[in-house]
Structure 1
Amino acid sequence: MRAVKLGSRIYGPGWGLKRLSPSFVSSSCSARACASSAGTGMAEEGRTTQDGDPVDLAMSVLVNYHEETKHRSRKYARGPHRLDWANQPNPFRRYDGARVVPLDHLPESPTRSSDPLWPVIFEESLAPKPLDKSSLSQLLYDSLALSAWKAARRSTWSLRVNPSSGNLHPTEGYVICDAIEGVSMTPFVAHYAPYEHVLEIRAEISVEKWRYLSSGLPPGSLLFGFSSIFWRESWKYGERAFRYCNHDVGHAIGAVAIASASLGWNACMLDGYSVHEIGCLLGLPQVRVSTDRGPVRGVMRELETEHADCVLAIFPSGLTISEQPNYQVAKLMGDVKWQGQMSALSKEHMSWGIIYEAAQASEKSAVTSAAITRSLPLPDSIITSAEYEPVTVRQVVRKRRSAESMDSTYAMLAEVFFQILAKTLPTGSGETQGAPRQLPFGALPWNAEVHLVIFAHRVVGLQPGVYILVRNEAYTKELAKLMKPEFSWEKPEICPPSLPLYALQYGNVTGLAQRLSCDQEIAGDGFFSLGMLARFESAMRDFGPSMYPRLFWETGLIGQMLYLEAHAFGVSGTGIGCFFDDPVHTVLGLKDNKFQSLYHFTIGVPVEDKRIQTVPSYPAPPGANF
């Protein structure tokens, strides 16, 4: 662990950190210009929703949902007045009666020969491992499994590799795959159960069905499906839960893409499926939940069903998807015999109808011929690999934690700051921000729609203030036109030329960042915090109403990279879902729905709570459940 000397003393705790003296002053910045263009890459949906109403009606529903679930300083989005602990949803879904296949457990501190160092997966494509029980176990162990248990007094709770809003984990994962020795003698559909790190075989399917499902995919591929249980989030967060569930989908996509890369595999979204087709593929009940405005309390088992989200193709690096897969699978899966009874999560429920109204309005209702991309790691051009902490991919992904609070007496070196930002770009540094290629953004079939508004607090050599990282430079001029005319749009003098980072306004923004993030001190105590600003209404008009949740998926994917990069440098990050939406837009001078802030984040030195004990992930400690 490398430290930085300040005066006659050396301060920790990690590389690239410097404890501040009261007289700390950042260097100034000067203006430079940088601009380029990029197109879009996602096929547009049909112009009608499932029930035949115009797309404008669905967009109206989604814009209304977004407006009604905004936090305001005098009125937060509607949620429960208190937490009903007796009905807290079980975070572990099980399919009782399904055949259970235990997966391999792996060492928490692997050798470098078995697990690559963190920077390596971004610089080169590793030799792909064969798809077998061992590699499938590793994929799940390093993406969706439990990472630890925490204990304090009489309470015990689990943590997972993929982060979740409030640690509630609405995202479920499914594997659709050819026969694998030790798992299934035939192709299968399986639900992943992280509590015990096992697969539950939901269905065994014929070879002919698998060939149809994997049409166009190279040998050694598998399909990975995601679904969401909105009730798990709405139990705590009420109407805003639909936003948070989709953040979590993005985090999970990133977790699976990173774990795949460590195995020498690519991950890309097959975005041509309709929601109905995905549900049929995963064996999910097709249930419509009432959209009557709530909250409504009672026993409503339909709230525990899963909403189909998306499907990823996982395949060996160096190979490509030769043709569009077969997206029309409902009839194909119609005669499949599904095994296992879906477990109950709560005794009673509370329904927030606006969530299900938004979910239905944003469903991809038509099978489309969506664009396909694949991860193509690019060389790192900001700093060298040797300057990271010497940690492997597994050590980064499994030891990632969300900081509860941060120590404001530390600063980050500018080159580390620039490196972290470079890893959030869809194509890496040194290249026009066009079609997504850099891991994990190559998993997405659309070009970047989300930009980072950064509140820089303590970055050595960078003047404090508000900055913007334009992740798709096709929108630089539009953003500059819509934002406050007095913003400078200067390129910081010390900023690498390839990084599309611009200073908007200088000054101490610690209090501002804290205030905008629901008065949470953590937003001001880190090195920097940020808001993720998405092209909003026009993105939905370009790609259809289903783009609404996908914008949140993109923010979750960015958040996942911020988490992991922070940990690779020996510090920590925290996603912030609570922020005052419109005051963020007011600060930037935005006056309409062309761009909206969807997610906040902060990075800094974590302050550890020594009252909390950490327990290994497996086996679960005695008496632990959730």
Structure 2
Amino acid sequence: MAPWRPFAVLCTRLLVAAPHVSQEAIRKLVGDLSPNLSAELQDRVEAVLSYHFRSKHFLDVQASLPGDLDWSSQPSPWRSYHGAPRVQLPHSLALLEAASSPVPLSLASLGAFLRLGAGISAWKSYDGLHMWALRVMPSSGNLQTTEFHVMLPPLDGLAAVPAVYHFQPEMHALEFRLPAPNEFVTTADGSAGFLVALTSLCIREAWKYGERALRSCHLNLGHAVGALDAACNVFGWSLQEGPPALHADSILRTVLGLGAGSDEEPGEHPELALFVRTSARASDVGVWPAYLTAETIGKLYREAHVEAQGVPGPLRPQRPAAAPSWPAMDAAQEGAVMALAEAGHQEEPTTSGLERSALKRLLGQRLLDAILNRRSVLRMSDEQPPLPEADFLRILRVACTAVPEPRAGRLAAGTGSAVNVLLMLHKVESFLQGLYVLTRQRGSEEELFAFVKAMPERVHRSESGSPLDLPEGCALWALARPVDVRHAAQISACGQEVAGAGSFAAAFFGAFTGWRHPRRYLELLWHAGALGHVFYLAAEAAGFGATGMGCFMDDMGLGLLRDPWSMEAKGDSSSQSFSAEESQHQVLYYVTVGKASSDPRLLSFDPYQHLQEGFSYEALQGGMGRIFQTT
């Protein structure tokens, strides 16, 4: 690559509020990228794309930030519904040692599943007293914007009727919200499985990251989907799309008993419903009745005199006197809302036959340890060994075949290809340094060749002569090699050293063409987050580590893909292009993989020590806590 000036020098330019975005240019771009949209959908896609371009980072301009952090108003990563009946869940994983596959659904297996799919992985501390919790899925700033709700059949230890619960991970408990009509359970005994609904509280991210928070909020949700899928792999269960009716925001909000919230206390935003299939019997295919619409659900609840129990606890100890607002972010979120007519609510099966997932097949017995030990790398080891060839190829295979890609309705699913990966290889055994692209879906190559300026060369074998043996439809392409891209990776990742000091860095990019609905933007972020999650798990299984990076110079990363030798010129906001030719792909996420350096000052504690007999737990502001031994 071209010689680089020190990043600190490049960043001494004055940073202003946000990149300038011309609405006229955005309107033309939407018409070029996604023609034939209705006037309403055109306006909503414009709001989404305007947000995406406005929230880009450049060397001279960055997305709007809140300024100095007001620690007195830091949101809590834990949500509780005060007054809701609470059921403590078991958290032991001992049942996995002797259980058959698939593991039968019970209170014990549900508790273990939620531990692996949404729970705490460790408590960390610098002084042994003030602690913070890590979760099984990463989150920008550990702010945890995703909430988990479950709709369960009657189980021993829970309500005697089908019911909706909120999962409270801090105390590893279910909070009873409201009973559900019998029609919500797929079979009489509930043996087919249960529903998991994910909601977002993006205000947690906005407190620290400002306008760019919507991106990281939905990347977090993708990680949550990846974590649930990984847990399903361990239990012999499968994660599948939820009922079509629940794609509509209004129906999902009604089913979960969510309030609209207010400026003082924002409410949860319903995002996605998934079906966890726990039975392998072909007869246990669930069907969501077509008549269950928002209106009929509301009528069922009114006739049964059903009211949601519990009041959502405040996220912030106090509201800041002058809380910043993010209208572009709010407009994008509202623009991506899925209405009932758009989601469709006809009767159709929600599940398919249970199959052994590729994630368990590729990672084997190392999967469980990878889930429990996954951490975000804060610093790469100074003595960075090469990532073994076999482990690198396993990461690629996992990325090709083991990534859940949730879709919120058929209209939201665009015709564009899946999220693909720009690889910046630094130190990988049997591979030259340089830029590569992993295409994850047949047909992606044509779009790639049309976008990049140099013709990529397909890589069939490593430098050792071993065939790559990638799954069908998946291919690795060389853009520039041999070339040292460590500085390029670091600079394009906002100067973060971990991007250039490990084995490789990856930029995930998605197609912004052929959208049929603005929800496609959220889907692409979900897919990128889920893809990042399997990178984490596969790296951990190899004895390495990974970290996701939500801060990156969007167009510099895109420049590495399109024309690597002109990347530095893409650092200025004045270079931002709104042409369809240069905008058909956009960078969504950065992930880096390498051998982590441990911090000897950092203490680690058992994830559920605070719930054990003989210990006392005191919750502190901002998700911190103290754990005392009482006996």
TM class by shorter-chain length? 0.7 to 0.9
How far 1:485 sits from its partner (Å)? Answer: 2.5
Residues 34-183 of structure 1 aligned to structure 2 (within 5 Å): 54-107=40-93, 110=94, 113-114=97-98, 127-153=101-127, 155-183=130-158
Q: Deviations over 1:14-58 (max 9, x none)?
A: xxxxxxxxxxxxxxxxxxxxxxxxxxxxxx9x966xxxx521111
Compare the two structures and name the one with the higher helix fraction.
2
Residue 538 of structure 2 is matched in structure 1 by: 565
Aligned amino acid, residue 319 of structure 2: E
The answer as to 2:296 corresponding to 1:331 is yes
Q: Please give the secondary structure, in 2, of the residue aligned with 1:195.
A: coil
How far 1:593 sits from its partner (Å)? Answer: 2.0
CA contact (8 A) 1:532 1:599 kept: yes
How far 1:271 sits from its partner (Å)? Answer: 6.3
Q: Pick from 192, 195, 198: which aligns with 1:226?
A: 198
Residue 281 of structure 1 is matched in structure 2 by: 255
Aligned amino acid, residue 318 of structure 1: A
Residue 535 of structure 1 is matched in structure 2 by: 511
Aligned amino acid, residue 413 of structure 1: P
How far 1:537 sits from its partner (Å)? Answer: 3.5
How far 1:379 sits from its partner (Å)? Answer: 6.5
Q: Pick from 591, 594, 616: which aligns with 2:584?
A: 594
Q: Please give the secondary structure, in 1, of the residue aligned with 2:97.
A: coil
Q: Pick from 283, 301, 311: which aligns with 2:264?
A: 301
CA contact (8 A) 2:66 2:207 kept: yes
Q: Please give the secondary structure, in 2, of the residue aligned with 1:356.
A: helix
Distance 1:491 1:481, change over 3 A: farther
Q: Which has the higher contact order (CA 8 A, sep 6+)?
A: 1
Distance 2:193 2:365 in 1: 31
How far 1:301 sits from its partner (Å)? Answer: 2.0
Aligned amino acid, residue 355 of structure 1: M
Distance 1:463 1:378 in 2: 32
Distance 1:325 1:257 in 2: 26
Distance 2:188 2:241 in 1: 14
Distance 1:253 1:217 in 2: 26
Distance 1:415 1:442 in 2: 29
How far 1:459 sits from its partner (Å)? Answer: 0.6
How far 1:516 sits from its partner (Å)? Answer: 0.8
How far 1:373 sits from its partner (Å)? Answer: 6.7
Aligned amino acid, residue 76 of structure 2: N
Residue 626 of structure 2 is matched in structure 1 by: none
Q: Deviations over 1:243-293 (max 9, x none)?
A: 011001111111112212222211112262211111111111135x7xxxx
Aligned amino acid, residue 420 of structure 2: H
Q: Please give the secondary structure, in 1, of the residue aligned with 2:432.
A: coil
How far 1:230 sits from its partner (Å)? Answer: 1.1
Distance 2:609 2:118 in 1: 16
Q: Please give the secondary structure, in 1, of the residue aligned with 2:443.
A: helix
Distance 1:54 1:421, change over 3 A: same
Distance 1:360 1:183 in 2: 36
Residue 187 of structure 1 is matched in structure 2 by: 162
How far 1:410 sits from its partner (Å)? Answer: 1.4
The answer as to 2:326 corresponding to 1:352 is yes
Q: Pick from 596, 601, 605: which aligns with 1:611?
A: 601
Distance 1:595 1:439 in 2: 20
Gapped regions of structure 2 (runs ≥ 5)? 1-33, 564-580, 611-615, 624-631
Q: Pick from 525, 539, 543: which aligns with 1:552?
A: 525
The answer as to 2:547 corresponding to 1:574 is yes
Distance 1:413 1:98 in 2: 51
Distance 1:419 1:444 in 2: 29
Distance 2:593 2:512 in 1: 26
Residues 13-28 of structure 1 aligned to structure 2 (within 5 Å): none
How far 1:461 sits from its partner (Å)? Answer: 0.8
Distance 1:230 1:255 in 2: 19
TM-score, length-scaled by structure 1: 0.79
How far 1:183 sits from its partner (Å)? Answer: 1.2
How far 1:417 sits from its partner (Å)? Answer: 0.3
The answer as to 2:447 corresponding to 1:478 is yes
How far 1:73 sits from its partner (Å)? Answer: 1.3
How far 1:88 sits from its partner (Å)? Answer: 0.3
Distance 2:494 2:149 in 1: 35
- Kindly tell me the number of residue pairs found equivalent between the two proteins: 532
Distance 1:440 1:551 in 2: 12
Q: Pick from 335, 338, 341: which aligns with 2:311?
A: 341
CA contact (8 A) 2:406 2:526 kept: no
Residue 418 of structure 1 is matched in structure 2 by: 393
Gapped regions of structure 1 (runs ≥ 5)? 1-43, 116-125, 290-299, 429-437
Distance 1:453 1:274 in 2: 34
Q: Please give the secondary structure, in 2, of the residue aligned with 1:597.
A: strand
Distance 1:556 1:342 in 2: 27
Distance 1:325 1:503 in 2: 49
Distance 1:357 1:586, change over 3 A: same
Q: Deviations over 1:383-413 (max 9, x none)?
A: x97xx6964x432212111010112521111
Distance 1:492 1:216, change over 3 A: farther
The answer as to 2:285 corresponding to 1:313 is no
Q: Deviations over 1:297-353 (max 9, x none)?
A: xxx324x21000000111125345364554624531442211001101111153322
Distance 2:357 2:408 in 1: 16
Distance 1:315 1:398 in 2: 22
CA contact (8 A) 1:213 1:325 kept: no
Distance 2:504 2:63 in 1: 26
The answer as to 2:179 corresponding to 1:204 is yes
Distance 2:207 2:527 in 1: 24
How far 1:624 sits from its partner (Å)? Answer: 4.4
Q: Please give the secondary structure, in 2, of the residue aligned with 1:214.
A: coil
Aligned amino acid, residue 301 of structure 1: E
CA contact (8 A) 2:185 2:194 kept: no
Residues 246-265 of structure 1 aligned to structure 2 (within 5 Å): 246-265=218-237
The answer as to 2:405 corresponding to 1:465 is no
Q: Please give the secondary structure, in 1, of the residue aligned with 2:102.
A: coil
Q: Please give the secondary structure, in 2, of the residue aligned with 1:225.
A: strand
TM-score, length-scaled by structure 2: 0.79
Q: Deviations over 1:81-139 (max 9, x none)?
A: 121111100111111110010000215xx587348xxxxxxxxxx72222211111111
Distance 1:194 1:457 in 2: 38
Q: Please give the secondary structure, in 2, of the residue aligned with 1:454.
A: strand
